[in-house]
Every structure is written in structure tokens, then in C-alpha cells.
Amino acid sequence: MSNVAVVGAQWGDEGKGKVVDIYSARADVIVRCQGGNNAGHTLVVGGEKIILHHIPSGILHETKTCVIANGVVMDPGVLLREIEGLAKNGRKVTPENLVISESAHVILPFHKAIDAAREIAAGKGKIGTTGRGIGPCYEDKASRRGVRVGDLIRPEKLRERITASIDEKNALLKHLGAKTFTVDEIIAELTPQAEAIKPFAKDTFALLNELCEAGKTFLFEGAQGALLDIDNGTFPFVTSSNTGSGGMITGTGLGPKTLGKVVGITKAYVTRVGSGPFPTELECETGEALRNRGAEFGSTTGRPRRCGWLDLVALRHAVRMNGLDGLAVTKIDVLGGSDEIKICTAYELDGKTITHFPGRIEELERCKPVYETIPGWNDEISGSKTVAELPPNAIALLKRIEELSGCPVYLASVGPGRESTIEIRSPFA
């Protein structure tokens, strides 16, 4: 069977968690490759809602191997609370079904403090981060000052690494007008967490490659989305990792041919949390209606999500960036009840029509969407089990998405629950 990679094709929150949960039934190994607990992946199973920030969304399938690989940044307190939360509901998370890379970087208390203080200092120019310390942690990885899980679980190494960087961090925190830290208080907070994490920590480079060589089927779980990619997204209003299929290679230590089919998840409209350009944003009643019908409030921070019409120019950018084989289109049900639905097919930039996504945000900010209108539908579609059961105008929308993106639709999602899913074609061929 082919491996499958699931990536966000917009600005995050496309419904990756739901799709990964469904595909997990067909995989042996489910891997998170990048990002950290800035992610909030929602699964709705039997009416119960579960939001995962760190643990791969395959964890509800108990016999699978879930891996938090080297490209991830990990907050030990958050991870342990997530494990406890699942255990309270009778879902076992043990070193048998969850493995954490010794090479993953640890989000430290000062990373969170720096993230928060910088956002306050930036005022109106803030990025609108999730405040989870993601950027400062990846900075320390790039500057080779970070603490990895392998350091966290070795007390003498942990003290050595924290001691080496504390003065610089405190100088920065002082400059930002924020509270400073002592080495001892950080060690006191991390020591019990390190003990609890230790049994899960392994060399996942070796493990993943061995599982791959043994012919196991992999499901790669992306976090964030194409337009939040540090290199190819709407910089600087992005996250600090490579959110596309490329990040899955470096984030696991597996070779590029391992990915198999790459499936991009897109809502039937667009949302964004945080600051930055958003050409099809609807700052009007229509946007408000989408937010209410779609319950568009962040899974991680609870912030209202900005809403707008589906943007095919941006989606084509995601197709190129990830080498998408197919799409999963989610939240089609949310568009029900509108007289008409718009999709953006091109931008107008300085009097010219363009069909590519500009690389510079100064240009993107000047882009005006060119829309095509599709008539809406009133039927409730969450119970639809096949494409044929969908209203003709919903089918027309999916066809148009396929034509304009150049990608077949593999899956159509018509409600938050596992059961509200129409699978058109399996990527595990």
C-alpha cells in the first residue's frame, strides 16, 4: 500500500485532524513531522469532541504507532496533560503506541515568555501568534542553542544547556520588559516532566526508517497550512516551520520517495487566525455568517477566525508547493443556505489579471479577488454518503474546484463527525 501525507492547503484549521483520524484506520504508523502545540486538531467521534495539540490524530486507533518526529517542537507540560486527558477517557497512551524523537526540540518557559512579550511590543504589527513559544524555540534550533528531548531526559545535560543560554534570554526579556528566569526554577519545572517523558523518548530516525524498511504503511500528519510556511507562505505572517510536504522529509529523516500520495486539505471557503493579508476575506455579514455556521473559533486559542470565499489562486500555490495528488474538501455543509457561493479564480493586481500567488506580501496586499459565482443550495447535506446524494450545485462546486486546481477531490467532508464523510477515492492505492 502507498503511504499518504496529509497537508493543510490554506492557513491552517482545514480539518486535517478529521481526515487523519479517518485515514489512520488504513495506516500502521502516524507521524507528526513539524510544528508544535500551535496546532489544534479536532476529531469528533461518536459525538465526542477531542482536540489534540501534540499527539498524532491516529491515537484513537490504539494499536497504531504514533510518532512525534524530530521536526516537531514539544512543550512537555502540554504533552503530559494531553496524555492524561486521553487516559481519563479510557484511551491508553503508552510507549507502545506513542514515541517521541530524542531530536525534537523542547519549548522552554522562556520561549513562551519571549513569544508573548514580542507580540505585546509589536502592538498593531503583531503576527498574532498562538503564544506557545513556537518561533523562539525554532530560533534556538537554528542558532544551535536549543534543548532537545535527548537533553531534557539527561539531568546534567539539561542543566548545562539551560545555563549556556539563560543570560542571553534574560537580557532579551529585560529589554522587552518581561519577567526573567533562573536556571534553578526552570530545572525545577522540567525535572518531573522529563521523568514522565523519558519512557516515550527514542531515536525515531532509526525507528521510522526500520518500520519503513519492514514495509509498514505510513500516514504523515501535517500541521498548520501551506500559506503559513516559513519559506513559501505569507512571510512574515507565517509560522516558523516548513508546513508542506518538504517539511515532512526533514522532519522525520525519511527519504523523499517515502511520502507516497500527498493529499491537501482545503475548506470549501477560507479561514485565517492571526494577522496578515487575506485577499478573499469577508469583513461583512456574509463572513460573520460563515463564522457562525462553521463554528470558526480557534481550537488552540479560541480566537474568532477570519472568514472568506474559497481562493483558487492560493490553492494552486498549495498544489505546487506540496506536489498535491488530490484534495480533501471539508466543511461543504457550512455553505448550505446561501443563495450564491463565490470562488476566487484570479487576482487583479495594479490593473492586470494574474493567476499566480505573489511571493511578496506587499503585492498580495494590493490584490483584489476576481470571482466566479456558483448558485447555492438549501438542503441539509451532513447525512449524504455519496457524491450523487449531494445537491447538484454542491457537485458543480466540487467539479469547479477540480478543474481550477488541477487536482482530483479524494474526499468530501459534510460535517465534523467521522460519519459525515464521502470518500470518492482512497489515496492508499
Chain contacts with ligand GDP (rule: CB under 6 A): 8, 12-18, 39-42, 44, 294, 299, 330-331, 333-334, 413-416
Q: Out of 36, 40, 244, 251, name the contact with Mg ion by CB under 5 A.
A: 40
Restricting to residues 4-33, name those near Mg ion by CB under 5 A: 13
**Residue 228, contacted partner among ligand GDP, Mg ion, ligand IMO, none, CB below 5-8 A by kind:** ligand IMO
Residue 324 has a CB neighbour count (10 Å cut-off) of: 27
Residue 12 lies near ligand IMO (rule: CB under 6 A):
yes
Of 34-42, 45-53, 79-87, 142-150, which segment contacts Mg ion by CB under 5 A? 34-42
Distance of closest approach, residue 228 Cβ to Mg ion, in angstroms: 11
- The span from the CA of 356 to the CA of 80, in Å, is 43
Collect all residues with Cβ–Cβ distance below 8 Å to 175 and sequence separation of at least 6.
none
Residue 13 lies near ligand IMO (rule: CB under 6 A):
yes
CA-closest candidate to residue 32, choices 218, 215, 266: 218
* Contact indicator for 112, 133 with CB cutoff of 8 Å: yes
Catalytic residue among 21, 28, 41, 53: 41
Residue 31 lies near ligand IMO (rule: CB under 6 A):
no
Backbone angles phi, psi at 139, to 5 degrees: -60, -45
Assess whether 105 carries a catalytic annotation: no
Residue 34 lies near ligand IMO (rule: CB under 6 A):
no
Of 7-15, 22-30, 157-165, 323-331, which segment contacts ligand IMO by CB under 6 A? 7-15
Distance of closest approach, residue 58 Cβ to Mg ion, in angstroms: 16
Beta strands in 38-102 (DSSP E): 41-45, 48-52, 65-68, 73-74, 98-101
> Which residue matches cell numbers 487516559?
87
Mark residue 312 as left, alpha or beta (left: phi above 0; alpha: psi -120 to 50; beta: remaining). Answer: alpha
Half-sphere exposure of residue 304: CA atoms within 13 angstroms, side-chain side: 11
Of residues 13 and 28, the one with the C-beta less far from ligand GDP: 13
- The span from the CA of 198 to the CA of 140, in Å, is 22
Assess whether 13 carries a catalytic annotation: yes
Of residues 260 and 274, the one with the C-beta less far from ligand IMO: 274
For residue 308, the one-letter residue type is: G
- Residue 142: all three cell numbers together: 537554528
**What does the binding site for ligand IMO look like in residue numbers (CB under 6 A)?**
8, 11-13, 38-41, 127-130, 132, 134-135, 223-225, 228, 239-240, 273-274, 299
**What does the binding site for Mg ion look like in residue numbers (CB under 5 A)?**
13, 40, 299
Catalytic site positions: 13, 41
